[in-house]
Structure 1
Amino acid sequence: MTTDAPRVLIADDQTLIRTGFRLILTARGLDVVGEAADGAEAVAAARGLKPDVVLMDIRMPAMDGLAATRRILAESPGCRVLMLTTFDLDRYVYEALAIGASGFLLKDVTPEHLAAAVRLVGTGDALLAPQITRRLVERYAATAERTAETVPADLTALTPREREVLTLMGRGLSNTELAAALTLSEATVKSHVARIFAKLGLRDRAQAVVVAYETGLVRPGVR
């Protein structure tokens, strides 16, 4: 995470996409430190260049974006991965969020949105609004493969209040809405959220929503 302009690595098998994104980001003051044409190159580049944010295409030859994301996040916990996809409900995006990606962008994103998204993720935040993540999770949670990598073994480390907060996060509530629903201050809610992330090893709210569904705290279609 960085307070300055984040250092960016662009991983996509299409040269024109990489070139276009580089021009867009550098024109807006972002530091593009490298490019990669497949997942294996992305892993090697991330290891050597230590970017703050990786723009990662999901579908690439040799090693796809999911495999590369797993490797990068395992080797560089401080790095953030922002997935690139052609379809907003690509089933692979769900898995990407579950393993720790900080959000996703469509490849036809506007230049302004692209730069803003990279800056946001570079601060350590998640790009997706919880409601968008919830829609994605509801579509795929019932059929997605469960693995120890994507789901905590249990939620026993959480207090009853923390489980309640996680459940409401899974339903798409913001911190302001959580505070109102639970009659708490926003500062207290932020403390609960931070402790949930620490206890479950979560990176951001997007992953918290996934975990809320995967562990059964929230069920698809139930409010």
Structure 2
Amino acid sequence: MTAVLLIDDHEMFREALVMALGNAVPALTLHPAASGKEALEVLDRNPSIVHVIMDFYLPDVTGPELLMRLRQQRAALRILVVSASQDPEDQRRAMDAGAQGFLSKAASCQELAAALDTMNATASGTAHDAPAFSSPPGLQDETALLRALTPRQNEVLRLMCDGLRNKEISERLNMSEKTVKTHVTAILSTLGALNRTQATLVARRGGLACP
């Protein structure tokens, strides 16, 4: 098992990523944290953590500062920044502060697993060996992924494709907003998507009727 510290202040994204990576890469043990302060505490309690996936913008600490503090606490960490930012300057600042990689939140779960694998291979000096974090066969088959959804989840996904938010979906389908959130989290996990935009793209490629 490989222990990974996951730092992101957006609860829904964090939960969806834990589920998606847990399904795609069962060999990972994920330790979530919602802030820089919590992340440092989790790291201190878990000496087995070797990788970090972190957002670059957190409410209590800047990205470069957290990167430096993580490295001060455990110098051998391999750190991947996953951010919604498209600014090349943010990427430069992250790498200068000690990150091994910088990935967009629009990336697929498979791309994220591949980035972790690359960092792991680089750290161990086995970059030409078989990937340590391989994805299960057929995960790229969007049609098969869509078939794994329940009828209700398909309804929710169609409304997500229409651009509706959770509150609007709850009103349209006459269910609580909490239930909608549960469905959305399950959809992201099943599709291996990190966010609603990725889920919509999978739905379109898989033939779901989306605008």
Q: TM-score interval w.r.t. the shorter chain?
A: 0.5 to 0.7
1:123 Cα deviation after fit: 3.0
SS at match of 2:82: strand
Partners of 1:16 and 1:104 lie apart in 2 by 21
1:78 Cα deviation after fit: 1.2
Q: Which has the higher contact order (CA 8 A, sep 6+)?
A: 2
SS at match of 2:79: strand
Partners of 1:64 and 1:41 lie apart in 2 by 14
8 Å contact from structure 2 (residues 3, 31) kept in 1: no
1:22 Cα deviation after fit: 0.8
SS at match of 2:85: coil
- Percent of aligned pairs sharing the same letter: 25
Per the alignment, residue 115 of structure 1 pairs with 113
Map 1:117-196 → 2, pairs under 5 A: 117-125=115-123
- TM-score, with normalisation over the residues of structure 2? 0.53
SS at match of 1:33: strand
Per the alignment, residue 11 of structure 2 pairs with 15
Partners of 1:49 and 1:65 lie apart in 2 by 21
Q: How many residues end up aligned between the 2 structures? A: 122
Q: Mark the runs of 5 or more structure 2 residues left unpaired by the alignment.
A: 124-211
8 Å contact from structure 1 (residues 24, 115) kept in 2: no
C-alpha spacing 1:7/1:90, structure 2 compared with 1 (3 Å): same
**Residue number among 35, 39, 61 corresponding to 2:36 in the alignment:** 39
Per the alignment, residue 67 of structure 1 pairs with 65
SS at match of 2:12: helix
8 Å contact from structure 2 (residues 18, 30) kept in 1: no
1:93 Cα deviation after fit: 2.1
RMSD: 1.9
8 Å contact from structure 2 (residues 6, 33) kept in 1: yes
- TM-score, with normalisation over the residues of structure 1? 0.50
1:111 Cα deviation after fit: 1.3
Map 1:190-209 → 2, pairs under 5 A: none
Q: Mark the runs of 5 or more structure 1 residues left unpaired by the alignment.
A: 126-223
